[in-house]
Chains A and B, each alone.
Chain A
Amino acid sequence: MDMSFFESKMGRGLLFGGLTICLLLTPTFVTDIYILSIFNLMIIYAILCMGLNLILGFTGLLSLGHAAFYGIGAYTTAILMTRFGFGFVAAFCASAVLAMIAGIIIALPTRKVRGDYFCLITLAFGEIFRLVATSWIEFTRGAMGIVGIPIPKIFGLQIVTETHFYYLGLGILTFTYLTLRAITKTRYGRAFIAIREDELAADTMGINTSIYKIMAFSIGCLYAGMAGSFLAVYQTAVTPSNFRLEESCLMIIMVIVGGMGRNLFAPLAGVAVMTVATEVFRSTAEYRMLIIGLIMILVLLIRPQGIFGSSSFKN
């Protein structure tokens, strides 16, 4: 297929416009609540994976604890809305900021430790978050989770149906895309890529690698916090089992299958493939981890750059 049309300015504009219209009109065509709920799930993962792509694809940091930041966002919204009477907008902002602060703290060690050790830190943090969320019963209600999160209201509009949540999610996703595009087009984005390609060289060229790594990581976590906040009001309940290591792995696979790197939309392909696959294989839930594991191995052995990846990872 001739790709040059899609690479020209007009082609891209047409493609983009068409896509936007399709996305906006989806609820008019899709009336089945179940299908729409899958779309909403995809939106949540899309926000998460776009953020993770900044960490993994752009900067080359492997985070095995992304689900924990997602969880921080979800629990912040759940606790603020059920116990402190916060409105959704305030809770949403608080969730994003708190997840980002947690991200900054966890990313601080990148100043000192190598990439694979950093990965261990994120892994340990993810497990600590899940275990504390399960054990701290007074605060998080333990394994039962927090239920009865109120209906979110945005400027007087009540968000109740799947369609409402679809548009809310689409709004957050658009915000994610636009801010990420703005970030990655500046010298920050180029610095992130430079760190991924060769950290030592980037350092020698005068890029303050530790600050940029912390920046990339915490910005990625900010989006995870937003996704978590959306999940909390969408599900009206959060439990620790939403934020297991399995979830972090699923996000990593989505990013890898879609393709890590410069293309901001690439992870969305992975999100779509994996979400649909999960739904299709729902009846064979006992093979779920086997399938996830095999996909992880096979994709990386056969095509490490993913479906739409710009460059192979760390090569």
Chain B
Amino acid sequence: MLGEVILVGVMVGAVYALVTVGYSMVFGILKLMNFAHGDTYIFGTLICLTLLAKYNIHPVLAILIAAIAGGGLAFLVELLVYRRLRAPQHRLISMITALGAAYVVQNISELQWGNQVMSFPSIVESKFVTLLGLQVSVTHIITLFVAVLCIAVLILFMRYSRYGKAIDCVSQDMDAASLMGIPINRVVSSVYFMGGVLGVVGGVLYSSAYNAVSLGMGFRGTLIAFTAAVIGGIGSLGGALLGGMILGLSENLIGVYVSSSYRDPLLYSLLIIMLLVKPTGILGNSDQTKV
């Protein structure tokens, strides 16, 4: 039993890591809490659901289209809502507009799909195999594999491509990066796009593993991403992975062994405790106020 719970926990953790990475990258660059993150990726996930259930499109193609739609929406939100408030003195204002953007996206999804829990088709056939003496669902293994693959590609991209380096530069010092000829707006837009794409992939994987999707998962997803990012160390790629993993594991352990109705309150308490004990997270750098 414990083995299965941990394995599912690792799978959920990998998906959370995927969702968190997109959010954490955005925070690393703009220091902005993107409240619309969860609602954006649920929008993409719901598009994927429509493509799969209504039009019977091949799953890979459907995920691709949905991911681009989610990324596009994230790009649009940044362009219309966040860009004008990018200066650090507007940080609290931009948080409120971010919340407004979350509401707008959520309401648009609600008008289209309603706020009921909908069943999400399994992308792969759900079979169980015995692995190392554990009963494991094939869906879970494939989910884990895809999530790990996406993260690995992202890490390679960030470390070795010119674009990845540009993103790193912008997150370190936006003004200096701008003076060095890095096109800030394009970099920021592309980070939002990538965050949206990764979020949608995570959302689709999660929904197909649990065979369910609902609008309520959007805001929960935002909070989960915040919590994971804060635990791991906000803004750091490794921190997002670690935080996602910790959250996925503890979610399943709490859900099975403690109480399923108090699972979310306990997870959010984790966020508060972490902010109290070590606001910079496990892998984050200490942040100092510049005078």
Please report A residues at the B interface, Cβ cutoff 8 Å. Answer: 60, 62, 64, 109, 112-117, 119-121, 123-125, 127-128, 131-132, 135, 200, 245, 249, 252, 256, 286-290, 292-297, 300-301, 304, 313-315
Choose from B92, B107, B262, B265 the contact partner of A119 (Cβ within 8 Å).
B92
Contact B276 A109 (CB under 8 A): yes
Please report B residues at the A interface, Cβ cutoff 8 Å. Answer: 31, 33, 81, 84-85, 89-93, 95-97, 99-104, 106-108, 110-111, 219, 223, 226-227, 230, 261-262, 264-265, 268-269, 271-272, 275-276, 279, 287, 289, 291
Choose from B31, B104, B219, B262 the contact partner of A297 (Cβ within 8 Å).
B104
**Minimum distance in angstroms from A25 CB to a CB of chain B:** 37
Given the contacts A289-B103, A290-B103, A112 and B279 also touching, CB distance less than 8 Å:
yes
Contact B95 A119 (CB under 8 A): yes
Contact B89 A289 (CB under 8 A): no
Across the interface, name the chain B residue whose C-beta is closest to A142.
B261
Contact A301 B269 (CB under 8 A): no
**Minimum distance in angstroms from A69 CB to a CB of chain B:** 15
Contact B264 A127 (CB under 8 A): yes
Complex interface: chain B residues within 8 A of A64 (CB): 99
Complex interface: chain A residues within 8 A of B268 (CB): 124-125, 127-128, 131
Contact A300 B265 (CB under 8 A): no
**Minimum distance in angstroms from B290 CB to a CB of chain A:** 9
Minimum-distance CB pairs A-B, first 10: A296-B100, A293-B103, A293-B104, A290-B107, A289-B107, A124-B268, A135-B261, A293-B100, A297-B100, A289-B103
Contact B272 A289 (CB under 8 A): no
**Minimum distance in angstroms from A114 CB to a CB of chain B:** 7
Choose from A114, A116, A297 the contact partner of B101 (Cβ within 8 Å).
A297
Contact A249 B103 (CB under 8 A): yes
Contact A252 B96 (CB under 8 A): yes
**Minimum distance in angstroms from B228 CB to a CB of chain A:** 12
In this complex, the member of A60, A120, A315 whose beta carbon has the largest number of chain B beta carbons within 10 angstroms is: A120
The DSSP consensus for interface residues of chain A is: helix
Contact A286 B111 (CB under 8 A): yes
Give bound CA distance, A117 to B273, whole Å: 12
Contact B103 A287 (CB under 8 A): no
Contact A62 B95 (CB under 8 A): yes
Given the contacts A127-B268, A245-B219, A300-B85, A120 and B262 also touching, CB distance less than 8 Å:
no
Contact A128 B269 (CB under 8 A): yes
Contact B31 A116 (CB under 8 A): yes
Q: List 7 A-B contacts (CB under 8 A).
A: A116-B33, A119-B92, A120-B271, A123-B223, A252-B96, A290-B104, A296-B96
**Minimum distance in angstroms from A258 CB to a CB of chain B:** 14
Give bound CA distance, A120 to B219, whole Å: 13
Given the contacts A249-B103, A286-B111, A119 and B97 also touching, CB distance less than 8 Å:
no
Complex interface: chain A residues within 8 A of B96 (CB): 62, 252, 256, 296, 300
Give bound CA distance, A301 to B84, whole Å: 8
Choose from B33, B85, B108, B111 the contact partner of A301 (Cβ within 8 Å).
B85
Give bound CA distance, A281 to B97, whole Å: 22
**Minimum distance in angstroms from A72 CB to a CB of chain B:** 15
Complex interface: chain B residues within 8 A of A314 (CB): 89-93
Contact B275 A249 (CB under 8 A): no
Give bound CA distance, A29 to B108, whole Å: 41
Complex interface: chain B residues within 8 A of A293 (CB): 99-104, 107
Contact B262 A135 (CB under 8 A): yes
In this complex, the member of B93, B101, B102, B103 whose beta carbon has the largest number of chain A beta carbons within 10 angstroms is: B103
Give bound CA distance, A132 to B264, whole Å: 9
Contact B100 A116 (CB under 8 A): no
Across the interface, name the chain B residue whose C-beta is closest to A135.
B261
Across the interface, name the chain B residue whose C-beta is closest to A118.
B275
In this complex, the member of A62, A113, A289, A304 whose beta carbon has the largest number of chain B beta carbons within 10 angstroms is: A289
Give bound CA distance, A293 to B102, whole Å: 7
In this complex, the member of A116, A125, A132, A252 whose beta carbon has the largest number of chain B beta carbons within 10 angstroms is: A116
Across the interface, name the chain A residue whose C-beta is closest to B290.
A200
Contact B107 A113 (CB under 8 A): no
Contact B101 A135 (CB under 8 A): no
Given the contacts A116-B92, A123-B223, A200-B291, A292 and B276 also touching, CB distance less than 8 Å:
no
Given the contacts A289-B107, A295-B100, A124 and B272 also touching, CB distance less than 8 Å:
yes
Complex interface: chain A residues within 8 A of B31 (CB): 116
**Minimum distance in angstroms from A77 CB to a CB of chain B:** 23
Contact A62 B279 (CB under 8 A): no
12 more contacts with CB within 8 A, not counting A289-B104, A293-B102, are: A117-B275, A124-B227, A131-B268, A132-B265, A256-B96, A289-B107, A292-B100, A293-B104, A293-B107, A294-B104, A296-B97, A314-B92
Across the interface, name the chain B residue whose C-beta is closest to A248.
B99
**Minimum distance in angstroms from A101 CB to a CB of chain B:** 17
Across the interface, name the chain B residue whose C-beta is closest to A131.
B265
Across the interface, name the chain B residue whose C-beta is closest to A137.
B261
Contact B97 A121 (CB under 8 A): no
Complex interface: chain B residues within 8 A of A117 (CB): 230, 275, 279
